[in-house]
């Protein structure tokens, strides 16, 4: 674009790359060689930058921390990684939203679906998924530390809403809590909607509650008493105003 005479300012605006960076690149053409093999990965550029579709990225990061995995695709010989997000079949809208956010974060690559028992795996193959989701690693997420890189924290701090939405869409829900109260000698039933997030990783729960704090949404946390999922931590958002605030950008699964 620069060689065709478009100004630094305009290239900067169109590409989301700042002008001094553009000047460095155009002065040192050897950097171009380093670009040839980066597979369009923003983290593997000579001067790494965050993904451009930050809103979709923040949402996908939430989904990934909840119900995602990154493994080598096929027999692993091609060195291509497969990002998989497991979506419950009861919520076709979420499957479509998941596909759309994957396609937005990685334009030009196809997104596929695999039917599993009770769920659909949404996936995309790319050599650089671990660059965008460095939390990837062997073993279960709750057995290892999950720490965001500074550039990821910047995105989550700037866009906490899609991050919280992604976490709720994967490992959370909006439920109607039915409560029985005695009013003037008679039993009455009241319904209170609330949001819940369940995860076995303390680190992921901390990321979720930090994002809620950032949004000024009060929450409570306890350990699930049900024996089969005893290790799971539950975070609830149940105050009326807080639920209304969450409804504005999360809502029930669909």
Applying CB under 5 A, the residues found at the interface with Zn ion are: 41, 43-44, 128, 131
Locate tokens 């509650």: which residue?
A: 209
247's CB contacts (< 8 A; 6+ apart) are 174, 193
Q: How far is the CB of 41 from Zn ion (least distance, A)?
A: 3
Cβ distance to Zn ion smaller for residue 43 or 253: 43
Q: Nearer Cβ to Zn ion, position 43 or 136?
A: 43
Q: Quote the strand ranges of 146-247, DSSP E.
A: 172-183, 186-199, 220-223, 233-237
Phi, psi at 223, each rounded to 5°? -95, 130
Smaller CB separation from Zn ion, 79 or 216: 79
With tokens 């096929």, the residue in question is: 74
Q: Which is nearer to Zn ion, 42 or 62 (CB)?
A: 42
| Chain CA centroid to CA 238, Å | 23
Cβ 232 to Zn ion shortest distance, Å: 33
In the chain, which ranges are E strands?
Answer: 68-72, 81-88, 112-115, 119-126, 172-183, 186-199, 220-223, 233-237
Q: Which is closer to Zn ion, CB of 127 or CB of 239?
A: 127
d(CA 54, CA 163): 10
CB of residue 82 vs Zn ion: minimum separation in angstroms? 15
Residue 218 CB, shortest distance to Zn ion, in Å, is 39
- Any bridge partners for residue 190, and if so which? 179
Q: How far is the CB of 25 from Zn ion (least distance, A)?
A: 18
């Amino acid at each position: 674009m620069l060689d065709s005479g478009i100004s630094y300012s305009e290239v900067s605006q169109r590409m989301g790359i700042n002008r001094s960076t553009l000047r460095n690149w155009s002065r040192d053409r050897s950097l171009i060689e380093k670009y040839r093999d980066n597979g369009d990965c923003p983290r593997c550029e000579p001067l790494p930058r965050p993904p451009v579709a930050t809103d979709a990225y923040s949402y996908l990061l939430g989904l990934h921390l909840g119900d995602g995995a990154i493994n080598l695709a096929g027999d692993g010989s091609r060195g291509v990684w497969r990002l998989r997000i497991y979506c419950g079949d009861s919520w076709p809208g979420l499957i479509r939203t998941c596909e759309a956010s994957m396609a937005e974060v990685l334009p030009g690559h196809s997104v596929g679906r695999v039917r599993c028992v009770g769920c659909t795996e949404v996936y995309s193959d790319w050599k650089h998924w671990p660059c965008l989701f460095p939390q990837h690693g062997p073993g279960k997420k709750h057995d290892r530390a999950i720490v965001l890189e500074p550039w990821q924290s910047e995105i989550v701090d700037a866009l906490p809403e899609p991050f919280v939405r992604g976490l709720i869409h994967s490992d959370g829900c909006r439920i109607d809590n039915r409560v029985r109260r005695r009013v003037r000698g008679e039993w009455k039933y009241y319904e209170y909607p609330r949001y819940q997030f369940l995860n076995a990783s303390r680190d992921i729960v901390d990321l979720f509650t930090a994002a809620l704090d950032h949004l000024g949404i009060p929450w409570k946390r306890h350990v699930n008493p049900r024996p089969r999922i005893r290790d799971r931590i539950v975070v609830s958002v149940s105050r009326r105003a807080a639920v209304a605030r969450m409804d504005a950008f999360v809502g029930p699964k669909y």
